[in-house]
C-alpha cells in the first residue's frame, strides 16, 4: 500500500488530490484483506501447516512425527505381544504411571518442553528494556573492536541487547549477566568474530557470574566465528597431529559456553571454527571436573534447565556440542 505522506501545507487542489488517493489506497487494501480473509475462512483447503496447530503441549507436526516413529520402531516379540519394559521405567518423574515406556517418555519430555517455554516467557517478563548495541558504540563493520560496547549495553542485566546485521569483532569475549538476552538478525546475517589478537583462552560468548548464581540467560539469532586460524600452528595430541591449534584447556577457547547457568536457552546460532567446542554446557568453572566415577560437583554449581535449539557447529577443534558435569 503506497500512501502520500508529502501533503502540501496549503489546503488546495494538491492536498485534496493526495488525500483522495490515500483514501482509495486504504479502501482497496481493506477490500483485499477482507476478501483474502473470507477465502482463508471458507475456500482455502490447505490454510495451515501442522506445525502451526497445537495439540496438548506440542504441535500437531511433532505429535504426528512421534506417532510415525513409534509405528516404525515397533518391535514384536516372539510370542506376538510385544516387548515388555521394566515396570519402574513406565513411571514418569512426577509419579504418573503408564502402560508402555514410550508414552511415559513422551509425557516427561513434553512436560520439560512446557517448563522451558514457561521459563522463556518468565525471562522475557524479567527483561526491563531492549537496547541496540550500536547505540553504545559497537561497530557492525568489524573494523574496530566492540568489547566495551557490549559490556556497557549489557550492564548488570535486566536487559535485551540486540545486534544488527554485520560483523562484530571482539577480543576478550562477551559476558552475559543474569536476566539478559543477546540476539541478532539471524545466522550468517549477524556475526560475532574473535579478533586476530584475541587471547587463546577467549570464550566468544559466556555467562558473567561464575559462582553458580547465573540465571535466566538467553542468546539467539547469529553466527559466532572462533577464528582459530589466527594461530598459525598445528596441534599434536597423544601422538596424533591435527591441522588446527591447541585450545587453552578446560572449557576455555569454546565459542558459546554456559557455566553454572540455571534457566537458559541457546537458539538459532551457528558456531564456526572454535578452538575447542562450538557449544559447551558445564558447571561454574573454567576447568572440567575429574573427581572419578560416581563423584559429582556441588549441585549449586551445575547448569540446569538449558535448552539448545536449531544450532549447528562446523570447524570445531574438538566437539561441536559438549555437556560436562
Task: Establish how many alpha carbons lie within 13 A of residue 180's alpha carbon, considering only the half-sphere containing its beta carbon.
Answer: 24
Q: Are residues 238 and 187 in the same domain?
A: yes
Q: Are residues 26 and 144 in the same domain?
A: no
152 in a structural domain: yes
Q: Are residues 76 and 166 in the same domain?
A: no
Count up the domains in the chain and report the number.
3
Q: Are residues 98 and 233 in the same domain?
A: no
Q: Are residues 227 and 209 in the same domain?
A: yes
Would you give per-residue pLDDT tens digits along the chain (325 residues)?
A: 678 878 787 778 888 888 888 888 888 888 878 877 777 777 776 767 777 777 777 788 887 877 776 555 555 554 555 454 456 677 776 778 887 778 888 888 888 777 777 776 776 666 657 899 999 999 999 999 999 999 999 999 999 999 999 999 999 999 999 999 999 999 999 999 999 999 999 999 999 999 999 999 999 999 999 999 998 877 666 676 666 778 889 999 999 999 999 999 999 999 999 999 999 999 999 998 877 666 788 889 999 999 999 999 999 988 999 988 6
3-class secondary-structure state, position 235: strand
Q: Are residues 27 and 68 in the same domain?
A: no
Domain boundary among 88, 114, 140: 114
Find cell 477482507 and name the residue.
34
**Residue 185 burial (10 A CB sphere; 0-12, 13-18, 19+):** middle
Q: Are residues 167 and 296 in the same domain?
A: yes
User: Angle 300-303-306 (CA atoms, 0-180°, nearest 5)?
Assistant: 145
Q: Are residues 165 and 242 in the same domain?
A: yes
123 in a structural domain: no
78 in a structural domain: yes
CATH number assigned to the domain comprising residue 218:
2.160.20.10
Q: Are residues 71 and 208 in the same domain?
A: no
Q: Are residues 63 and 18 in the same domain?
A: no
124 in a structural domain: no
209 in a structural domain: yes
Q: Are residues 220 and 319 in the same domain?
A: yes
121 in a structural domain: no
122 in a structural domain: no
Q: Are residues 93 and 158 in the same domain?
A: no
Closest CA to 301 of 280, 286, 319, 320: 286
Closest CA to 256 of 170, 196, 179: 170
Full domain range(s) for residue 35:
7-41
Amino acid at each position: 500500500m503506497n500512501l502520500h505522506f508529502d501533503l502540501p501545507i496549503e489546503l488546495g487542489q494538491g492536498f485534496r488530490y493526495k488525500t483522495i488517493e490515500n483514501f482509495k489506497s486504504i479502501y482497496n487494501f481493506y477490500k483485499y484483506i477482507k476478501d483474502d480473509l473470507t477465502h482463508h475462512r471458507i475456500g482455502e483447503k490447505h490454510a495451515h501447516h501442522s506445525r502451526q496447530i497445537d495439540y496438548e503441549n506440542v504441535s500437531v507436526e511433532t505429535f504426528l512425527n512421534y506417532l510415525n516413529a513409534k509405528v516404525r520402531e515397533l518391535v514384536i516379540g516372539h510370542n506376538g505381544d510385544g516387548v515388555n519394559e521394566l515396570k519402574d521405567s513406565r513411571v514418569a518423574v512426577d509419579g504418573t504411571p503408564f502402560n508402555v515406556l514410550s508414552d511415559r517418555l513422551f509425557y516427561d519430555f513434553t512436560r520439560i518442553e512446557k517448563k522451558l517455554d514457561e521459563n522463556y516467557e518468565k525471562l522475557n517478563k524479567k527483561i526491563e528494556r531492549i537496547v541496540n548495541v550500536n547505540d553504545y558504540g559497537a561497530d557492525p563493520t568489524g573494523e574496530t573492536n566492540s568489547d566495551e560496547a557490549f559490556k556497557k549495553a549489557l550492564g548488570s542485566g535486566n536487559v535485551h541487547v540486540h545486534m544488527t546485521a554485520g560483523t562484530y569483532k571482539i577480543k576478550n569475549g562477551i559476558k552475559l549477566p543474569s536476566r539478559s538476552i543477546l540476539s541478532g538478525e539471524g545466522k550468517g546475517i549477524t556475526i560475532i568474530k574473535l579478533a586476530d589478537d584475541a587471547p587463546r583462552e577467549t570464550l566468544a560468548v559466556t555467562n558473567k557470574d561464575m559462582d553458580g548464581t547465573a540465571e535466566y540467560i538467553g542468546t539467539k539469532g547469529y553466527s559466532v566465528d572462533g577464528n582459530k586460524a589466527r594461530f598459525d600452528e598445528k596441534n599434536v595430541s597423544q601422538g596424533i597431529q591435527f591441522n588446527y591449534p591447541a585450545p587453552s584447556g578446560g572449557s576455555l577457547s569454546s565459542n558459546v559456553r554456559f557455566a553454572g547457568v540455571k534457566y537458559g536457552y541457546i537458539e538459532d546460532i551457528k558456531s564456526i571454527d572454535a578452538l575447542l567446542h562450538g557449544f559447551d554446557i558445564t558447571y561454574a568453572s573454567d576447568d572440567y571436573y575429574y573427581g572419578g566415577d560416581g563423584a559429582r560437583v556441588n549441585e549449586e554449581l551445575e547448569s540446569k534447565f538449558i535448552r539448545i535449539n536449531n544450532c549447528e557447529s562446523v570447524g570445531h577443534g574438538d566437539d561441536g556440542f559438549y555437556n560436562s558435569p
